[in-house]
Homo-oligomer: A and B are copies of this chain.
Amino acid sequence: MRGEDELLAWLRTLPGTDLLGDDTARLPVRPGSVWIATTDSQIAGVHVPADLDPAVLARRLLELNLSDLAAAAAEPAYALAAVSAPAGFDHRRFLEALLTACAAAGVRLAGGDLARSPTLTLTLPLLGSRPEGAPAVGRGNARPGDVLWVGGTLGESGAGQRLVSRGARLRAGAGGGPEEGASEVYLPQDLDLPEAVREAARRAVRRHLAPRAQLELGAWLGGRERAAVMDLSDGLARDLPRLARESGAGAEVEAEALPTPEGFAALCAALGEDPLELALGGGEDYVLLFALPADELPPDRFECRPVGRVTKETELWLVKPGRREPWPDLGWDHLVLTGD
């Protein structure tokens, strides 16, 4: 197999790699800005199947880190790529797709680390910038009376994850990009899905494997006087309590207001999943959850949906027609996996 020096020499011939130098990179300053830092990892066999197309993996890794920057209203700037991979991993396909996706998002690859490992582990620290003096959009900004919003539908990624765990895959196109049109969803024959839900299933697989960070919505929220923002990575059931706790507040969410995609109920029925449980706890939605004063409305183009309100009492409630239930214990804990 190819050695590290040869791979790096090849990498430096690609566009967008001018910052790549030695073990360190010197990051050009953005005057009048502060840096916002984040890092998320993707582990084959934990977050994604081990046989996932490296190009799909690269794009997903970038998007879910960008989603953290979106929640901080930060403008993407630099990435480092730490790639620990078993023998046979297609580094070139991964790195080419990563560079293409970085370029599209305004991110410059500024270094990284290559190592061999029995378990494919990809870590992508990102730096974004935010104007100095701009208000923070942290989780602790919600106030009683605020309206709670989500930036898109919930549960679809969770349904996609179930499909992927049963063999569904996304194949990137020739260009390596998993964009709509340039990539194709594969549904195994033995999935035995009714014809009527196959299109919703394809969308769910795409949503799970090729999420898109809501950077524009984040930037809009960053321009508000006060906004509490986070991205939904572990599911509303687990993430909303974090926002409420940081704000010293509680919340009421209308179960019937939770937005789900077209054909979701039928897809869940075919998968034997409960739609409400997936919407609350399926995880990896990668849309923004935010709280705004009641008189402030996000522009229609973002297709956000109000799902509840922030309350003074610090409990969380799920409101159903005629009754309210204690907040459900669902969602993804990164340290406690199924089977523990």
Binding site for B on A (CB under 8 A): 1-5, 7, 21-29, 34-41, 43, 45-47, 68-69, 71-72, 74, 78, 80, 82, 84, 87, 91, 110-119, 121, 123, 125, 127-128, 130, 132, 136, 138-139, 230-231, 233, 242, 246, 333-337, 340
Instruction: Known A-B contacts: A24-B38, A116-B335. Give 19 more (CB < 8 A).
Output: A2-B335, A21-B138, A22-B71, A22-B138, A22-B246, A23-B68, A24-B37, A24-B69, A24-B128, A28-B34, A41-B113, A43-B121, A45-B118, A46-B84, A82-B82, A84-B121, A116-B336, A117-B119, A121-B123
- Given known contacts A41-B113, A43-B84, A340-B87, is B123 in contact with A335 (CB within 8 Å)? no
* Distance in angstroms between the alpha carbons of A3 and B332 in the assembled complex: 10
Is B23 a contact of A38 with CB atoms below 8 Å?
Answer: yes
* Distance in angstroms between the alpha carbons of A3 and B246 in the assembled complex: 18
Number of copies: 2
| Most chain B CB neighbours (cut-off 10 Å) among A246, A333, A337 | A333
- Given known contacts A26-B36, A68-B24, A74-B24, is B125 in contact with A80 (CB within 8 Å)? yes
Is A78 a contact of B119 with CB atoms below 8 Å?
Answer: no
Q: Output the least CB separation between A66 and chain B (Å).
A: 11
* Distance in angstroms between the alpha carbons of A128 and B35 in the assembled complex: 13
Q: Output the least CB separation between A325 and chain B (Å).
A: 21
* Distance in angstroms between the alpha carbons of A123 and B39 in the assembled complex: 10
Residues of B within 8 A of A334 (CB): 4, 113-116
